Amino acid sequence: MKVVLDTNVLIAAYIAQGHCADVFEQVIAEHTLVTSEFILKELDHNLQKKFRYTLQEVQVISSFLTTHSLVLQNVPPLTKRVSRDRSDDHILAAAYEAKCDLLVTGDLDLRVLKFFRGIPIIPPREFWKFSGKK
């Protein structure tokens, strides 16, 4: 299964133990994590600015994600705005471009959509319904 984990899920996976960390570990171990340049830049920025990670810590995380995921380059933008938050359209575009099976997010602006072009949009707690685990 190809899975996009939104930036907020990746951040939560790194800053705390819980559902997001469990989902992240499961996706890395048994599925294909799909990410994009946009998601990685947003992750780097937020970890440094909001959570005070050092540049070296962020580089280690970026290196791990680049090595253990499918990183999309130059994702074409959506032709029309879909999400209430324009920046979330980048996440949707990545999921669509990679033909993902699932988009996991805690972002209500995305979750309110429920689906995007046939891709379910779910919170981390619902991941297990789709993965057949737990």
Token digits of residue 62: 């970026």
**pLDDT value, residue 132:** 72
**pLDDT value, residue 133:** 66
- Residue 71 clears pLDDT 90, i.e. is over it: yes
- Residue 113 clears pLDDT 60, i.e. is over it: yes
| Cβ–Cβ < 8 Å for 35, 69 | yes
**pTM higher than 0.85, yes or no?**
yes
Say how many domains are in the chain.
1
**pLDDT value, residue 86:** 87
In angstroms, rounded to a whole number, what is the distance separating the alpha carbons of residues 107 and 95?
15
User: What CATH number is associated with residue 117?
Assistant: 3.40.50.1010
Confidence of residue 110 (pLDDT cuts 50, 70, 90): very high
In angstroms, rounded to a whole number, what is the distance separating the alpha carbons of residues 10 and 30?
17
CB-based burial of residue 13 (10 Å sphere; 0-12 exposed, 13-18 middle, 19+ buried)?
buried
What range defines the domain where residue 56 resides?
2-131
Instruction: List the one residue out of 32, 40, 38 whose CA is nearest residue 98.
Output: 32
**pLDDT value, residue 66:** 96
In angstroms, rounded to a whole number, what is the distance separating the alpha carbons of residues 51 and 45?
9
- Residue 131 clears pLDDT 90, i.e. is over it: no
Any idea what the Cα angle at residue 27 is, between residues 114 and 102, rounded to 5°? 20
| Alpha carbon distances (Å) from 83 to 22, 25, 69, 73, 78 | 27, 28, 25, 21, 11
